[in-house]
Amino acid sequence: MENNNGPKPIKKIEIIEKIYWECNFPEHRHQTEKAAMTCIKARPHPVKPRKGYRKIWIKVAKNIMAGATWKEAGASVGRSGERARQMTHKLFRISIHPANLSNRPDGINDFAIKTIRKNATFWAERIEYMEKKWGMNDSE
């Protein structure tokens, strides 16, 4: 573009510093340390993820393979049916990731109970593989 010898733009840099206090709760920011301390004292501490979550995924998947519904499989580990479905899907997605499976069969992305049971041998092998990879066995 032609400038016509008029005023030229000037580059400016402005750094904005945000100072806040965290209270260890997601999305919480406080303007003062006192406010953060009050928040911490007023609420229970966040629950840390349980270390045995992979064992729960395996147990739910095995229950589904054995004929349980999502609701029954979830109830066996103190979760809802929807949570059981999510856990099973996560386990199966991880087990068919290219890092864990070199030759992935076609049509294996359908995680409906009917399809899971139809491919029971394949999924049982994947569950066993993940148990070995994560250092689990039935005696734990």
Taking the alpha carbons at both ends of the chain, their separation in whole angstroms is 73
What are 105-128's pLDDT values in tens digits? 877 878 888 888 888 999 999 999
Element (H, E) at 23: none
pLDDT above 50 for 74? yes
Q: How far is CA 71 from CA 7, 44, 87, 96, 117, in A?
A: 71, 29, 12, 24, 16
Question: Which DSSP helix (H) or strand (E) runs through 47?
Answer: none
Task: Give the model's confidence band at 140: pLDDT under 50 very low, under 70 low, under 90 confident, else very high.
Answer: very low
